[in-house]
Chains A and B, each alone.
Chain A
Amino acid sequence: MRCREVTTRLDAYVGGELPSALAAEVESHLASCESCRLALDRLRRLAAVLGQTLMLPVPAGFALKVMAEARTRAARRPAVAAWNPFQWWKMGSVPMRAAAAAVLVVGLLAGLAMGWNAVQAPAAKLSAQAAPQGDPLAGYNLDYLGEAPSGSLADGYMALLSGRNGEGK
Chain B
Amino acid sequence: MSDVKETASEQLMQAVAGGDLSAFNEIVLRHQKLAWDIAYRFLGDRHAAEDIAQEAFLKILDAAPRYKPTASFRTYLSRVVTRLCLDYAQRRRPTYTDNLPPVTDSGADGARQVAAAESEQAIQGALMTLRLNQRMAVVLRYFEGLSLAEIAEAIGVSGKAAERLLARARESLEPLLAHLCEE
Contacts and interface: CB of A to CB of B under 8 A. Distances in A.
Interface stretch (B2-10, B34-42, B77-85, B103-111): B34-42
A105 interface: no
A129 B57 CA distance: 74
B61 A73 contact: yes
A43 B166 CA distance: 10
Contacts of B33: 58
Given A12-B148, A63-B29, A47 B54 contact: no
Residue among A7, A15, A62 with max Cβ neighbours from chain B (10 Å): A62
Interface string A1-19: 0000001111110010100
B24 A70 contact: yes
A7 to B, nearest CB: 6
Given A8-B167, A53-B123, A55-B41, A46 B174 contact: yes
B37 A49 contact: no
A89 B28 CA distance: 29
A73 B120 contact: no
Interface string A40-72: 001101111111011110110011011101110
B69 interface: no
Given A12-B163, A81-B19, A62 B173 contact: no
B137 to A, nearest CB: 9
A67 B36 contact: no
Interface residues of B, number: 43
A21 interface: no
A51 B181 contact: no
Which secondary structure dominates chain B's binding surface?
Answer: helix
B138 interface: yes
A54 B57 contact: no
Contacts of B123: 49-50, 53
B120 A45 contact: no
Contact of B58 (A8, A42, A45, A69): A69
B28 A59 contact: no
Contacts of B116: 54
Interface in B112-166: 116, 119-120, 123, 138, 141-143, 147-149, 163-164, 166
B75 interface: no
B170 interface: yes
A74 interface: yes
Interface of B: 19, 21, 24-25, 28-29, 32-33, 36-37, 40-41, 46, 50, 53-54, 57-58, 61-62, 65, 116, 119-120, 123, 138, 141-143, 147-149, 163-164, 166-167, 170, 173-174, 177, 180-182
Interface of A: 7-12, 15, 17, 42-43, 45-51, 53-56, 58-59, 62-63, 65-67, 69-71, 73-74, 81-82, 84
Given A65-B54, A70-B24, 11 more contacts: A8-B164, A11-B141, A17-B148, A53-B119, A54-B120, A56-B46, A58-B33, A59-B50, A66-B32, A66-B58, A69-B58
